[in-house]
Amino acid sequence: MTGQFGEDSDRSSEASDRNADVVDSQPWESGQIPSVEPLGTSVDSSGSEFIWIEDSETTNIAQHPIEPNISNGSTQLVRADRSSRSAVSTQQKNRGKFQDQTLRTETSRTRKLKACVRCRMQKIRCEIDENDPEGTCKTCQTVTNQRLYTLPCARYKITECTLYRTGKAPGLEFTFRWPVMKLKDINKWAGTEVREIQLQSDVCEIPFTVSARRFLPIAQDSLKRGWMDGKIKKFKDTTPFAIVNMASAVKDMKEYIDKNVLGCMKYFLQDTGTLVKETYDFAVKHMERHRVNLNQGLLMGNFMRLWFAVRRTHTTEHIVGGDTLDMRPETVDKSFPLFGKVPLPPVMIQQLDMILTLGVLQPLRKKVLEDLQKLILSNKPSTWMTVYLITFMSMHSCARISNENYKNARKHGLKRRYAMPAFVQERHHAANVFLSHYHYRTQPCDPFKLDWRRRHATPFAAMSEKEVMFLMRTKELVEQKRDDFRIAKDIGLYEHELYFISQMYEDDWQPREIAIDFDEGTINDVPLREYV
């Protein structure tokens, strides 16, 4: 997909990055982390800090857990001394050659069509039905005939899920300067002065600092921010400034994420319901408890980084501080979405999209989904809580993305429900993929339905008292929200923060079909873009 970026309150270029040309990365190294040191304290020359490993194509993510310092009630990240980490050796079994050519052919075909969730989880052969190759496999057909309820035979893979966009809807582009996403700096500048500015978003109260410089615009650049006021299309002029060094900005963004991800969660979730707030809060504590368990602690930390990066791509940023790049806030037209604030120049928004997508989101997505799939396929009771928490936060993120995409369509006068319907459709499909794996893990022995008076006799006997209390509290909150769950489902309110979360607590869950319209029209037939 080519990178087409535009006027959008969801400031990102996201969509599935399966076709993106990036080098495979390993965001975190494995090993034990015996000691930690709070940020801001001195470190030795060996460098006991978050390391963001770089390769020839893209910059990869730190392989250290995010650890909240909760001894004094504060929330901050800590550094981990990587020099004292021990390597974890693994032994892989090599599969022998096929002795049966028929099995070889069937396996090749199954690999192309993908094995269903049930067969992959049980590590059994997924036999294709010749009469309906893409339908229910033969293995699942026998199970379906034996049970009153069974999860659907779905050829889903966690690692193929779309979590963010890599493009913009036609007509909402900011610039065509970069036909494909690439960390390439502008080389024609209008001056030599480099100015440091601060960018404020609505997802974090701490601004992000970048270095900007005035550039020479080309025909493909937009220098205006547009929005709809009723049936009238309006524009606000901006100055031609851009980020000076995108590679340097990637490093700054990574540091910014590590320092602010946990604080961002608290800030961003202030207006959410109790169920969401308490679950996120428990997720942070769960990560802290598992900081020495690399399979779960590192996965939780990387997922939270990914969560924050996605949130950064769905925000409208504005300039704060003393230097506003020769622009003044809009104080006359109250219909302007950033009334009273100084907007970012469009080209700079495009650059921030690429910085987040190429420098953070791509390597994190790959690592998180691969590690999550491994954890799910392990099918161990000790990993259930991590799977639950990540699924919950992913469902909440899906609803927020839907809500923001809905608002963006209204902002630009689009008749369709979402600004980027194809992306939203893929993101909703990803929700079904997560839910199918979660329910397959949970259905045989649902912790929310156990008799915890006999905790020692359950598969979850190793669960701590705090985890059990969290489950009981969650069960209570879920029961209080049953009416909201039902209403959101009945009217298809995908933008409600509990629409996807509610499906985690359904007894006979089935994938929901999501209605997405692709209407190309606009209110009053106004043009979607205008370049100078």
Max alpha carbon distance in the chain (Å)? 78
Burial 278-307 (b: 16+ CB within 10 A, else e): ebbebbbebbbebbebbbbbbbbbbbbbbb
The dihedral region occupied by 292, where left means phi > 0, alpha psi between -120 and 50, and beta the remainder, is alpha
- Return the structure tokens found at 194: 């480099």
User: What CA–CA distance (Å, rounded) separates 435 from 451?
Assistant: 24
The token pair at 503 is 């499906």
> pTM of the full predicted structure?
0.77
pLDDT of the residue at 351: 92
What percentage of the chain carries pLDDT values higher than 90? Answer: 52
Positions in the chain short of pLDDT 70: 1-113, 118, 121-124, 138, 143-151, 155, 167, 169-170, 292-293, 527-532
pLDDT score at 146: 52
Geometric angle at alpha carbon 257, from 29 and 163, rounded to 5°: 80
Q: Copy the structure tokens of residue 499.
A: 């629409």
Dihedral of the alpha carbons of 102, 108, 110, 115, in degrees to the nearest 10: 120
pLDDT of 131 reads 77
What pLDDT is recorded for position 10?
Answer: 42
Predicted confidence at residue 433, as pLDDT, reads: 94
Amino acid identity of residue 186, one-letter, is I
Length of the chain: 532
Amino acid 115: pLDDT: 73
d(CA 233, CA 124): 58
230 backbone φψ class: left, alpha, beta (φ>0; ψ -120 to 50): left
Q: How many CB atoms lie within 10 A of CB 206?
A: 14
pLDDT, residue 229, reads 86
Q: Which two tokens stand for residue 395?
A: 């469902």
- 220 sits in which H/E element: none
Residue 435: the pLDDT is: 96
pLDDT score, position 36: 24
Question: Quick one: pLDDT at residue 370?
Answer: 94
